[in-house]
Structure 1
Amino acid sequence: MDMSNSFNIHENLFKKMPKLKVMNLFRMQLSSLPQALDLLTNLQTLCLDNSNIKDVAIIGKLKELKVLSLQSAEIVELPTEMGQLTQLRLLDLSNCWRLEVIAPNVISKLCRLEELYVKGCSIQCMVEVLKELKHLSKLASLEIDIKDIKMLPGDLFSKELKR
């Protein structure tokens, strides 16, 4: 029996951990994130790498989040709610091969973002996402797949971009 597919997080668990700052649910096969996740008001790092979670909208309620890693997760969309993560410093969407949509104006609202990793994604409106990057004055590290160099806006890169 594969126990990884039967794992559930009980909603009351988060009530007992209000000071939790780091949560790593690497390879957890959760069908969805618990609604009580928003009780973790002090959470600063959330890792959901290699998970099968598709709806990540609830993460937008984690206002203190600084690091969000969704490497190889099965998300299809980065929803509007993610734009509320204004404290976010690092966003890793590497190899989210099902990721097709980043809602408009989400990336540009992540004003403190220093590192963004979106290589290995099949985002449909990549040109629009690229245009939003010029609003990220603190962006120092960017990994992205560009199929056509003509897609790059001329004023894309800030002085802070180092990698």
Structure 2
Amino acid sequence: MLLRSAVVSLLLVAPTLAAECPSMLQGELPKLRSKDRIDLCEQFAGKPLLVVNTASFCGFTPQFKGLEALYQRYKGQGLEVLGVPSDDFKQESDDAEETAKVCYVDYGVTFSMSQTQPVTGAQAIPLFKELAAQSQAPRWNFSKYVVDRQGRVVASFSSRTLADDPELIAAVEKAIASAP
């Protein structure tokens, strides 16, 4: 009887959870240097989010340092950052361990990082298809998307935009201030 009650409760709650999770966050990504997966809804739904497509061998790779500083500055206010390595622009390693070394050892990244994923064109993962639909597809590595608590892109920025850029910070603060 207890099991039946739990199943009925789960069936009643599951549609509510799916309805509360924005479409762009419905799915999972493999976590960098791990067998674990990042459940996008579980980890990011209802939170302000900065999504960045990254690459280990790009001239913009030093931006990891600024992105980490931004994350540390705002994580206490709920900001999440998701880095998604991609080889779409031919500047990411085929070796996940090498990618992890660049992120975690060379730049001290503590925010969430997925394994390498396609982020442009027909092969793009659903998250990046939705980001592109709401703004534009990445034109290069380190494109940045600020997403509010409802899963809406409030701003997107080019690769050249640094993490301490006043416009990016204003967009992050707007996303943080958005109602859950």
TM-score normalized by the length of structure 1: 0.25
Give the structure with the larger helix fraction. 2
Structure number, greater radius of gyration: 2
Does 1 or 2 have the higher relative contact order (CA < 8 Å, sep 6+)?
Answer: 2
